Structure 1
Amino acid sequence: MSTDQATHVGAGSADARHLELDPRPAEVLAIGSQLAYGSVGLNAALPVYEASGLRCAAVPTTILSVLPHYPSMHRADLPADWLWEVLHDLDRSGALDQLRAISVGYLALREHAAVVAEWCSSRTGSAVDAPFVLDPTLGDVGVGFYNDPNVAPALRRWLLPMATGLTLNLFELALLTDRPLSSLTRLKDVTAAAQCLMTHKTQWIVVTGLRSTTLSVGGSSLGRIGELVLTHDTVQILSRTVAPATPAGVGDTFTASLISRLLAGDDLLPAVDAAAGHTALQICRKERFT
């Protein structure tokens, strides 16, 4: 977009906030994928934030027509310079004046990670001033990569050092710690791998989707699924009955719900438990539609 195109509509306007149906500044900035039809990425997260009463600014890194599983799908990855300009537009508009959390999910290009890190630094002078939750949406067990494998090292370099919290599955944990997925079958190995991702900035890590064999620590966990919740001082496990299906978008729903609960004032463990319960409820709701 040329300068003339970018400034024409707003030329002479000191404050366009009066034109907004909802003029509240955003409390959450969510960066991720967007679909014309589907319930993953930003499509899955935005209803959660809205239901929690949180105003959210949503910035896509890629736009898809539908999920890649359909017979026909088209996508457009947004360029890194577009992402940079959009983030600065939001800052200049005042939309982020009351920002309380930043959530980063699917990044289509490795350059996106550098843009997010540099933008955060440019707006604060150093580290990000709002809690920064990284949901490294790279792939999953049984599915493989969702995106370019080169995104993983970019996340390690640019975004892991600044993350306040991480939500990730076993596939993503293996990638970010450079471990074989086959080595993460025991709880102690998952814990050790997650601890390797802790930095001075990190306050917590949640490893999701742990199945029965991984959860087992002496008692029966058959038919259970759960989360490893790690802080600098504690290691805790939460679990529940396995839901009847695993649709796409559950990770995005979980992360948005977790952030919503934390912003509502919940402590970490109750927030994780509530987010997992909400996600399970949405899966059961999905079953009622089919």
Structure 2
Amino acid sequence: MRILTTGGTGLIGCELVKCWLDQQYQVTLLSRSAHKALALFQSHRFSDRLSAVENLSVFSDLNDFDAVINLAGEPIFDKPWTAQQKDRLWQSRLKMTEKLTALINASQTPPTCFLSGSAYGYYADSGEQRINEQQSAGQGFTAQLCQQWENAAQQANIRVCLLRTGMVFSPKGGALAKILPLYRCGLGGKLGDGNQFMPWIALEDMVNAIDFLLHNSACQGAFNLCSPQPVQNKQFNQLLAKQLRRPAWARVPAFLLRILLGERASLVLESQRLYPEKLLKQGFSFQYAELSNYLRATFGKSPINV
């Protein structure tokens, strides 16, 4: 299989590339620095099957690829949502997706599938209501961003899967890696009242789910990529602190989070009780459905060194 992927040097993308190289696929990365991208995988077996390009302008079509995976996008939580930053978030997702869609539609023998990123921010704050893929979109900034992102991908005239991703947990990077030092120092705690549900997914399951969607031609449309057992923020706090053998009595009030984070506070205070209904119906099996099992497998019985 010949795969073109964007975002291949990120947390998820790196593991996907390794997964596909292990299957002896031909993988082409789109990266701002082809040399640096290739260097990340130089010690991996079958790295000779990997290539990189720095701009989509080198392609007039995508006839030479069997699949396109689109994971590119400016990190959404790292910087305040100024008007300028919102535009960067918008453009980094829409422009790339629109370019890929145009290249797919310009192909005489196009790829068979297009897997394109989205996020749980597509949905509104739903409290304790369980959310499957049929739930309508919210009205806020992230919901509008995800809707436009998905709409751009759906213009491709091939099988399209939309990846509505939860919080991807890994000690290698992402949200979990960032908060581990706080918990290790005993400064962990719940956010707001802690009742908000957190849609999460282990990195291992995220990679396996994307690979599953790639290979199953019956899979099409939006998919919630999250554990079937989301947890409330207060439960997450208790489980992680217990696993690391640290106290976690701190609490950050909602009003303070809104002052410190502005609009970004919605990402940690709103409740999205996502359920991966379509993925489960297609027969996907999670390695880590329960957070306690994931934390035990990842960190063992001893506190992690960060």
Under TM normalisation by the shorter chain, which class is it? 0.3 to 0.5
Q: Which has the higher contact order (CA 8 A, sep 6+)?
A: 2
TM-score (norm 1): 0.40
